[in-house]
């Protein structure tokens, strides 16, 4: 019987090939040579790539036997995940391969800024000897602010302990207890910016975090402070940063990532008080080898028909066909739960599965719930293997409960989260009809039935006439079309819940006006990212 064909489209470490073993027909191709790539994909069951090879809809169409695309690294910008999922092709990456490298590079940037190492090197290499010009500062007894206490933020905190610094942190999804375990003091973003001598950012790039460090935030920092971004380009407003550096509003900056890579705008790069590197966060021998070995193991699992924990989509595996359709639903319910919780940090998450599903192994639903919950909350690509680790690092316990009892639906899945203050948030969903339509059927004690959509608005307020007209007018004026709506209440004149599905995201200023006009006790806009 012929061995499955595994295509290696870019240079990978010898350890990667060794990890694949001898069970496959391993072939090499230059992934940047498009005709050669498309021809080689015709027979391949798996393809291993790094960042230069584009696996898009055209490439997937040329690969009828393809089962898995493996990216030996973290980023997946060069893989069309949606097209792969539609084609039934699993996409895997190595989400933990570069975290140590990224943390160490951050420390390198901090030290380079504190001691002017790159500028001093360039000066001496040019034949100058200007010791006094490059007088720096010690890290000892300084305050370092970490924005984002995920895995990389936690590694940075651990490494900074040896320098005798005070560590403060901002992360709305981490409890004070977890921060304390890492040696950090939680505070608001404004407090962190005002108190820190060094600020390093480790947040995911979302519509909410893009430009989160802008002109106002830079003005709030000490004139002697430095800001570092080794996470995602665009978290710092580059124009605002340039203005702040030129005006002396902050002392300096360190950037490894940019809005455009390579940077189109060069003005930042020429400033004397900035240290820049060309996106080197994962550029170490160790990170590259770990990435290659990790995805090689994933390829073996995928081609053996097993569930792959590092899959960023779900295709293939040994999950029962009756269970499989619910995975995407549960992931989306996790995203809704995160939105409902807002800036509250979970301490526990229970996944309660009821109905006919109780007869099957639904353990993957717990992983799917965690994956969905963290999807928009962390910098890393979230997968089935790192989601439990992310929960553990944040002090979140997760459990799965299964019961045959389901009164109104054949099957229901409820996600129930306990926040740090003891309050509970809850969302329930089901797959309805022959088309298995994804629906939300419960939200924080309210019985509803609305389709899961990409753009959701959830509002609670005192039940009274005129509310629908008020928010309907505001959304209409903003050219936002309401696709669906349901109102639920527990008693006349009591608290009511409106759930809207809309065709496009709603601007923040519109949401603020609606909240003020209806005296909302809560208002959440939730954007669902497709699994």
Q: Which residues are catalytic?
A: 232, 261, 279
Q: In terms of C-beta density within 10 A (0-12 exposed, 13-18 middle, 19 or more buried), how is residue 270 classed? A: exposed
Residue 189 burial by Cβ neighbours in a 10 Å radius (0-12, 13-18, 19+) = middle
Q: 181: which 2 tokens?
A: 């375990």
Instruction: Give how far Cα 326 sits from Cα of 62, 83, 210, 378, 429, Å.
Output: 30, 20, 32, 24, 10
Burial call 499-531: b when 16+ CB within 10 Å, e when fewer: bbbbeeebeeebbebbbeebebeebbbbebeeb
Return the H-helix or E-strand segment holding 155.
helix 151-160
Rounded alpha-carbon distances, angstroms, from residue 470 to 12, 255, 318, 465, 481: 59, 45, 50, 10, 14
Measured CA distances, 434 to 86, 87, 331, 359, 431 (Å) = 19, 22, 21, 20, 9
Distance CA 229, CA 291 (A): 22
Query: Do residues 378 and 307 touch, judged by C-beta distance below 8 A?
Result: no
Q: Which residues does 164 contact at the CB level (< 8 Å), separation at least 6?
A: 139, 140, 141
Buried b (16+ CB within 10 A) or exposed e, 113-142: bbbbbbbbeebeeeeeeeeeeeeeeebeeb
Q: For residues 281 and 430, what is the distance between their CA atoms, to the nearest angstrom? A: 41
CB hemisphere CA count around 315 (13 angstroms)? 21
The number of residues making up the chain comes to 531
What is the phi/psi pair of residue 381, to 5°?
A: -65, 125
């Amino acid at each position: 019987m012929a061995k499955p064909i595994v295509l290696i489209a870019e240079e990978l470490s010898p350890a990667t090939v060794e990890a694949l073993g001898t069970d496959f027909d391993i072939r090499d191709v230059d992934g940047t040579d498009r005709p050669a790539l498309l021809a080689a994909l015709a027979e391949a069951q798996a393809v291993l790539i790094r960042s230069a090879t584009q696996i898009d809809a055209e490439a997937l169409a040329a690969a009828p036997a393809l089962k898995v695309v493996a990216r030996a690294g973290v980023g997946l910008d060069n893989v069309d995940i949606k097209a792969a999922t539609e084609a039934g092709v699993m996409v895997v990456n190595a989400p933990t391969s570069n975290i140590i490298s990224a943390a160490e590079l951050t420390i390198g940037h901090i030290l380079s800024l504190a001691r002017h190492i790159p500028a001093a090197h360039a000066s001496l290499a040019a034949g100058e000897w200007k010791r006094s010009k490059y007088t720096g500062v010690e890290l000892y007894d300084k305050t370092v602010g970490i924005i984002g206490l995920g895995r990389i933020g936690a590694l940075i905190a651990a490494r900074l302990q040896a320098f005798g610094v005070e560590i403060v942190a901002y992360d709305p999804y981490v409890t004070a207890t977890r921060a304390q375990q890492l040696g950090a003091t939680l505070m608001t973003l404004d407090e962190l910016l005002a108190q820190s001598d060094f600020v390093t950012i480790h947040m995911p790039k979302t519509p909410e975090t893009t430009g989160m460090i802008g002109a106002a935030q830079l003005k709030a920092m000490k004139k002697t402070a430095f800001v570092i971004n080794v996470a995602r380009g665009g978290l710092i407003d580059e124009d605002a940063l340039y203005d702040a550096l030129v005006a002396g509003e902050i002392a300096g900056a360190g950037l490894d990532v940019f809005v455009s890579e390579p940077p189109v705008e060069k003005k930042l790069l020429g400033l004397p008080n900035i240290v820049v590197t060309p996106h080197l966060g994962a550029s170490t021998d160790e990170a590259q080898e770990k990435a290659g070995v990790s995805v090689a193991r994933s390829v073996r699992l995928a081609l053996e028909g097993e569930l792959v924990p590092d899959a960023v989509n779900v295709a293939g595996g040994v999950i029962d066909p009756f269970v499989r359709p619910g995975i995407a639903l549960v992931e989306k319910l996790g995203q809704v739960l995160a939105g409902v919780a807002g800036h509250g940090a979970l301490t526990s998450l229970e996944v309660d599965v009821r109905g006919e599903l109780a007869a099957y192994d639904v353990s993957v639903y717990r992983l799917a719930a965690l994956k969905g919950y963290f999807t928009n909350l962390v910098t890393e690509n979230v997968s089935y293997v790192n989601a439990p680790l992310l929960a553990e690092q944040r002090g979140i316990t997760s459990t799965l409960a299964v019961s045959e009892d389901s009164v109104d639906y054949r099957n229901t899945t409820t996600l129930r989260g306990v926040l740090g203050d003891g309050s509970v948030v809850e969302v329930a969903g089901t797959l309805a009809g022959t088309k298995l339509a994804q629906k939300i059927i419960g939200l924080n004690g309210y019985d509803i039935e609305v389709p899961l959509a990409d753009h959701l608005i959830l509002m609670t307020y005192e039940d009274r006439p005129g509310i629908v007209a008020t928010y309907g007018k505001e959304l209409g004026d903003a050219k936002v079309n309401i696709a669906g709506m349901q109102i639920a209440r527990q008693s006349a004149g009591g608290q009511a819940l409106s759930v809207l599905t809309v065709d496009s995201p709603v601007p923040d200023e519109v949401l603020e006006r609606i909240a003020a006009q209806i005296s909302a006790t809560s208002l959440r806009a939730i954007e669902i990212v497709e699994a």
